Structure 1
Amino acid sequence: MSFRLSERSLKRLAGVHPRLVALVREAAALSPVEFMVTEGLRTPERQAALVRAGASRTKRSRHLTGHAVDVAALVDGQVRWDWPLYPRIAAAFKAAAGRQGTAVVWGGDWSRLRDGPHFELDRKVFP
C-alpha cells in the first residue's frame, strides 16, 4: 500500500532534520498501514509539559532538535493505537532507512518504556 502524507502531517515535519523527513516520506510510500505525523519538532516548554503529564520521561528528547517524529496509525481514517499496527509501520521505516542508508531507531524496540509511535535518527550517527 502506498499513500501520501496529508498537508497537516507535512506541516508537522517543519523543523525536522531533512534525512528524517525523507525517511518519513518513503516510509509512507512503503507502509501497509496508513499513518499521520502527530509531532516532530518540540519546544522545551512542550517537552517539559509532556514530562509533567507523564507522557515523556526526559527533558533531553530528540524532538527538541528535530531528530524525532511521532506517528499515529490510521485505519479507515480513524487514529488507532492498537500495538500490532506499529510494528508494520516500523517495518516500512526500517526498509526506507535501509534503502536510504539512514540509521533510525524505533521506540518499539526499546526494552524499557516501549514507544511504538516514536522514530528517531540514531544518536551515534546524528548527534
Structure 2
Amino acid sequence: MKGLVKIIQTWTLIIIFIILLISFYNQMEENHLDLGKDAPIPTDLHPVVEENKNILIKQAAAIEIDVVITEGTRSISRQNKLFEQGRSTGGNIVTHAKGGESYHNYGLAIDYALRNSNGEIIWDIHYDGNNNGEPDWFEVAELAKGLGFEWGGDWSNFRDYPHLQMTFGLSISQLQRGLRPDYEENTEE
C-alpha cells in the first residue's frame, strides 16, 4: 500500500510540474507577442546595414567594380508582389518569401547588381569588368561577407545571388514577433 501511495504522489508532482511548465511557456509566448505589437516595421535600413552597404560600394569601387544597390528595405506589399511573380503573375520566381518573411522587410537586407562599362545595370554573375580573371559578382560577395553580410549565393536551397543580409542572430520568427537588433549593441562588436 505504501508503494502505491508513493507512486501516486510522484505522478501528482510530475503532473503539477508539467502544468506549471506549460503555464510558464504560455506566459512567455504572450509576452513576446505583446512586444511585437509595439514594434513597427522599419522603413529604412538598419544603421549598421546602411553603413556597411556604403563601405561595400567604396571597397568595390577601389577594385574597379561599380556596384548598384537595387533594393534595400522592402514593404510587405512589395514583398507580396515579388512573391506572386512567377506564380500568379508573369515572370520568373525571384523569391520564396511572402510579406513579413524577408529580412528586406525589417531593413536588414539589400540586393545588388553591377554597372558595366556602357553604364548598363547587369545581373551577369560571370561578368569580369575589371579584367582580373574573377567574376565581379563573386568579388563583391566576398567583400560583403568580410563586412558581416550573409550572401544569398551561398544558400543551398534557393541561390539568391543579388541578396545580402545581416540577421544579427535574429530569425524571421523573432522579427515577426517584434524583436529588433539594437544599434548600440551591434556597433560595439
Match of residue 160, structure 2, among 108, 115, 123: 115
Cα distance in 1 between the residues matched to 2:109 and 2:72: 6
Q: Secondary structure at the match of 1:63?
A: helix
Question: Are the aligned partners of 1:51 and 1:57 in contact in 2 as well (CA < 8 Å)?
Answer: yes
What is the deviation of 1:94? Answer: 2.2
Question: Are the aligned partners of 1:68 and 1:119 in contact in 2 as well (CA < 8 Å)?
Answer: yes
**What is residue 38 of structure 1 aligned with on the other side?**
70
Identity of matched residues, %: 30
Q: Secondary structure at the match of 2:95?
A: coil
1:1-127 map, 5 Å? 15-31=44-60, 32=63, 33-53=65-85, 54-59=93-98, 60-76=101-117, 77-84=119-126, 85-95=136-146, 97=147, 103-124=148-169
What is the deviation of 1:123? Answer: 4.7
Q: What are structure 2's unaligned runs of at least 5 residues?
A: 1-42, 86-92, 127-135, 171-179, 182-189
Cα distance, 1:47–1:27 mapped onto 2, change above 3 Å: same
Runs of 4+ with >4 A deviation: none
Question: Are the aligned partners of 1:73 and 1:80 in contact in 2 as well (CA < 8 Å)?
Answer: yes
What is the deviation of 1:79? Answer: 1.1
What is the deviation of 1:115? Answer: 1.1
What is the deviation of 1:120? Answer: 0.3
Q: What are structure 1's unaligned runs of at least 5 residues?
A: 1-13, 98-102
Q: Bigger relative contact order, structure 1 or 2, given CA contacts below 8 A and separation 6+? A: 1
Cα distance in 2 between the residues matched to 1:35 and 1:124: 26
What is the deviation of 1:19? Answer: 0.5
Give TM-score scaled by structure 1 length: 0.77
Number of residue pairs matched?
108
Question: Are the aligned partners of 1:28 and 1:92 in contact in 2 as well (CA < 8 Å)?
Answer: no
Question: Are the aligned partners of 2:72 and 2:104 in contact in 1 as well (CA < 8 Å)?
Answer: yes
Q: By percentage of residues, which structure has more strand? A: 1
Q: Report which of the two structures shows the higher radius of gyration computed on alpha carbons.
A: 2
Cα distance in 1 between the residues matched to 2:95 and 2:159: 11
Cα distance in 2 between the residues matched to 1:116 and 1:55: 10
Deviations 1:9-31 (A, max 9, x none): xxxxx701111111111111111
Give the alignment's Cα RMSD to 1 decimal: 1.7
Q: By percentage of residues, which structure has more helix? A: 2
What is the deviation of 1:64? Answer: 0.5
